[in-house]
């Protein structure tokens, strides 16, 4: 499995949501509108898009096994942390 073209869009933090991400899986499938949310114990997790139908929320797409989910999360969160380091550099008083 290859994850490429990871695009991170940081947002003003709101209810734990800190960014949106999109990426291409195996050069065949574009996945977008995935949220990056802070974990209460520290770190981040991914939240996949849903659609509201009446009172129900329907999953649009999501990983169906733990190994696959962890692989995606590791790649995406790593890229997110790299992007945020660049923002921290520009916000630093030393630069």
Q: Where are the domains of the chain?
A: 3-91
Question: Which residues make Cβ contacts (< 8 Å) with residue 55, sequence separation at least 6?
Answer: none
pLDDT at residue 91 in the model:
55
Q: How high is the pLDDT of residue 21?
A: 98
- In order of 3, 42, 58, 94, the CA distances from 74 in angstroms are 11, 15, 25, 30
Mean pLDDT (whole number) for 78-93: 79
Please state the pTM of the whole predicted model.
0.86
SS in 3 state form for the chain?
CCEEEEEEEEEEEECCEEEEEEEEECCCEEEEEEEEEECCCCCEEEECCEEEECCEEEECCCCCCHHHHHHHHHHHHHHHHHHHHHHHHHHCCCC
Pairwise CA distance, residues 30 & 72, whole Å: 13
Question: pLDDT of 52-63, one tens digit each?
Answer: 999 999 999 999
Q: What confidence tens digit (pLDDT) does each residue in 3-17 have?
A: 999 999 999 999 999
Q: Which CATH class is domain 3-91?
A: alpha beta
pLDDT of 95 strictly over 60: no
Share of the chain above pLDDT 90, in %: 87
């Amino acid at each position: 499995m290859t994850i490429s073209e990871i695009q991170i869009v940081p947002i003003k933090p709101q209810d734990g949501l800190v960014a949106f991400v999109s990426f291409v899986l195996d050069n065949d499938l574009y996945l977008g509108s995935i949220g990056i949310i802070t974990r209460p114990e520290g770190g981040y997790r991914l939240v996949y898009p849903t659609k509201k139908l009446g009172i129900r929320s329907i999953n649009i797409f999501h990983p169906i096994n733990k190994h696959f989910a962890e692989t995606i999360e590791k790649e995406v969160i790593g890229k997110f942390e790299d992007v945020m380091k660049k923002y921290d550099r520009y916000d630093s008083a030393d630069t």
